[in-house]
Amino acid sequence: MIDRIRADLSFHQAALSIRQQRQEVLASNIANADTPGYKARDINFRDALDAATGAQQRLADTRLTLTSARHIPAQAQSPEVGNLPYRVPVQPRLDGNTVDMDVERVQFADNTMRYQAEITVLSARLKSLMAALQQ
């Protein structure tokens, strides 16, 4: 039963982590709206979530301490989102910047709303688990 709870909570953890990373990418796009040659990027949430939950859940950037010469060295790494696709511009500017502020603002607001919704769902889930454990 604990494994099922852990799997459910790790899904929410992965979703929140990807939403947070996407928020940083969108904020970077907005911050560089006037930078000549800047190319807007974005995270495909569905693909990133599939990659995060399809693989075994690993600890983020953890190294094991070796206390014996017979131990096998190991390291867990968080899923990489560094290979971000560029957003296709609707109307590129003459200076090479592809940030469309209208698109970025809408995506930023949408991602914020979905992040808050995920926190609300997770909070309700934790409250129901706590209620079940107290009975």
Give the DSSP per-residue string, 76-89.
Answer: E-PPP--SPPBPPP
Element (H, E) at 69: none
Residue 95 belongs to a domain: no
Out of 41-45, 81-85, 88-92, the most confident range is 41-45
53 CA to centre of own chain? 11
Mean pLDDT of the chain: 84
Q: Encoding tokens for residue 35?
A: 């930078």
Residue 66 belongs to a domain: no
Residue 93 belongs to a domain: no
For residues 63 and 74, give the distance between their C-alpha atoms in angstroms, rounded to a whole number: 6
Residue 68 belongs to a domain: no
Output the pTM of the full model. 0.72
Is the pLDDT score of 119 beyond 50?
A: yes
Structural domain span for residue 111: 2-59+75-87+100-134
Residue 24 belongs to a domain: yes
User: What's the domain count of the chain?
Assistant: 1
Q: Which of 5-14, 60-69, 70-79 has the lowest mean pLDDT?
A: 70-79
